[in-house]
Structure 1
Amino acid sequence: VNNAGVGMLNVLEGTEMSKIRELFETNVFGAMAMTKAVLPQMRIRRSGVIVNVSSSVTIKPLPALSVYSASKAALNAFTESLALEAALFGVRAKLVLPGSAPTTGFGKNAVVRMGMDIPEPYSAFVHDYLTTLRSGTEFTTPEDVAEAVWRTVTEPEAPMKTPAGADAQTWFREAGHSVA
């Protein structure tokens, strides 16, 4: 289970290229490196499941998340293509898409690590979005993510993408997908 991830909430103009590279290093290249490390043994055993924890931000576009969304979309594309390669050897590759999890330290850690220096022309826009986000009634808990990962690993017919959390499931349905 590749669950390492770095968040970022900022508009593109407010984001340093070094921070973008750091985000991709963890969210995309880290998952690729770990997968590359374990795949040979799974291939030899002809079994195994690789679960990449992505994000519900890949279900619909959201403001101030372009860079983060791009990193998770890259992870999704990687996983979907890897699934075709791995299937040759009885190995499954799947995605779990958590929603917003305000009870965890993910958001706070993202601000500390990546900063949040919003350019003035965007400040009202981002502030309004954050207010809307915080007033939501559907969220994701760590237990939701653990359950989604468990189902993805233990159910051989699990779908490619499993939303984790009430908000992610709502967005998934609104996008025309069925939630198992």
Structure 2
Amino acid sequence: MTKRWLVTGCSSGLGRALAARLASEGERVVATARRPETLDWLVARHPDTVVAAALDVRDPAQCAAAVGRAVDAFGGVDVLVNNAAYGQFGTFEEVSDAELAAQFDTNVFGPWRLTRAVLPVWRKQRSGHAVFVSSVAGTVPFPGLAAYTASKFAVEGAAESLATEAAHLGVKVTILQPGGFATGYSTNLAMPERRIPDYTPVSDGMLGALRGMNASMEVNSPELFADVVWRLGQLESPPLRLPVGPDSEAFLEAAYDARRSEYDQVVKAGQHTRA
């Protein structure tokens, strides 16, 4: 049974690959981008099942219009994929208020406002699946990505809250945690206006790794991501969290082990003190 998808950030990278995969499977897709003309090729190939819509997730009116377009075209939305995002580079001290606000406006407030616009449709349908594309950085902090990491921690908290609030309405929630993928992430990485030399020993290595990501044979392909998300959409009981890519699994396992070890040590120390 085909589903109705609303996907953000489809002009390139993960969103582009996902929209193409969904269309090839015969799914009905509202593919969005800030410049919808970048999706003309996909609409031309699938004119009966793909609709392109302009969407900047920072714009509440465009969020509402995109949902309306999905309802007009297909009668509703079954799966929303909050994919649009970008990375702000810079250590904690380097990132300005304006840069931090811009990071959160796209990566956190954008998915929140778009999902909020879809929820009335899902309440009426008594069904829906919200997919939030987070990152391994939503669990594992990386030097030089303080703002991006904070935004992904925040969006995961919002998604988990939604899962507890809307499950009785038939709404499912999944947080995707991709590892490294060959996308335009590093090309579109925003750099802070202020750089502080004291932090370069811990941040420059990360910056070099990010900029070399597209050329690396070790990163995952967007097509792998698209396959995972399409299959996720077919599940009756999708997971709340889903690592995407072998590197993500390795990072997350190490992080969970470290947290558990630290927790055990703190709890045991506390019990010893109380005794």
> What is the TM-score of this pair, normalised by structure 2?
0.58
The reply to whether residue 105 of structure 1 matches residue 145 of structure 2 is no
Counterpart residue number, 2:63: none
Contact 2:135 2:178 in 1 (8 A): yes
- The question of 1:169 aligning with 2:246 is answered no
Q: Number of matched residues?
A: 174
The 8 Å contact of residues 94 and 192 in structure 2, kept in 1 or not, is answered as: no
Q: 2:227 aligns with which of 134, 137, 147?
A: 147
What percent identity do the matched residue pairs reach?
A: 36
Q: CA deviation at 1:68?
A: 0.8
> Structure 2: which amino acid aligns with 1:125?
V
- The answer to whether structure 1 residue 7 and structure 2 residue 82 are counterparts is no
Code of the aligned partner of 2:204: H
Which of 76, 80, 97 matches 2:156?
A: 76
User: For structure 1, which runs of at least 5 residues remain unmatched after alignment?
Assistant: none
Q: Tell me which residue corresponds to 1:54.
A: 134
Q: Does the Cα contact within 8 Å between 2:139 and 2:153 map onto a contact in 1? A: no
Q: Residue 116 of structure 2: which of 17, 20, 36 is its match?
A: 36
Q: Structure 1 residues 140 and 59, CA, compared in 2 at 3 Å: closer, same or farther?
A: farther
Matched to 2:205, the amino acid is D
Determine the C-alpha separation between the residues in 2 that align with 1:80 and 1:159: 11
Match of 2:202 in 1: 125
Question: Is the 1:138–1:166 Cα contact (8 Å) retained in structure 2?
Answer: no
Q: Which residue among 142, 146, 171 is the counterpart of 1:91?
A: 171
2:115 and 2:179 mapped to 1: Cα distance?
A: 23
Partner letter of residue 55 of structure 1?
Answer: S
Q: Distance in 1 between matches of 2:93 and 2:161?
A: 31
Relative contact order, higher structure (CA 8 A, sep 6+): 1
What is the rounded CA distance, in whole Å, between the counterparts of 1:146 and 1:116 in structure 2? 34
C-alpha offsets along residues 62-110 of structure 1, whole Å, 9 cap, x if unaligned?
Answer: 2111211110111000001101111111110111111122x21111112
Unaligned 5+ segments in structure 2 are 1-80, 258-275
The Cα RMSD (Å) is 2.2
Deviation of the 1:139 alpha carbon: 2.2
Could you say which structure has the larger radius of gyration? Answer: 2
Once residues 89 and 157 of structure 2 are traced to their aligned partners in structure 1, the CA distance between those partners, rounded to angstroms, is 22
CA displacement at 1:7 relative to structure 2: 0.5
TM-score normalised by L of structure 1: 0.86
Distance (whole Å) between structure 1 residues aligned to residue 185 and residue 227 of structure 2: 18
Q: Does structure 2 retain, via aligned residues, the 8 Å contact 1:11–1:65? A: yes
Q: Does structure 1 retain, via aligned residues, the 8 Å contact 2:86–2:107?
A: yes
* Aligned residue type for 2:244: A
CA drift of 1:149 comes to: 1.9
8 Å contact from structure 1 (residues 139, 166) kept in 2:
no
Question: Residue 78 of structure 2 aligns with which residue?
Answer: none
Q: Does the CA-based 8 Å contact 1:140-1:164 persist in structure 2?
A: no
8 A Cα contact 1:83 1:93, kept in partner: yes
* 1:57–1:69 Cα contact (<8 Å) kept: yes
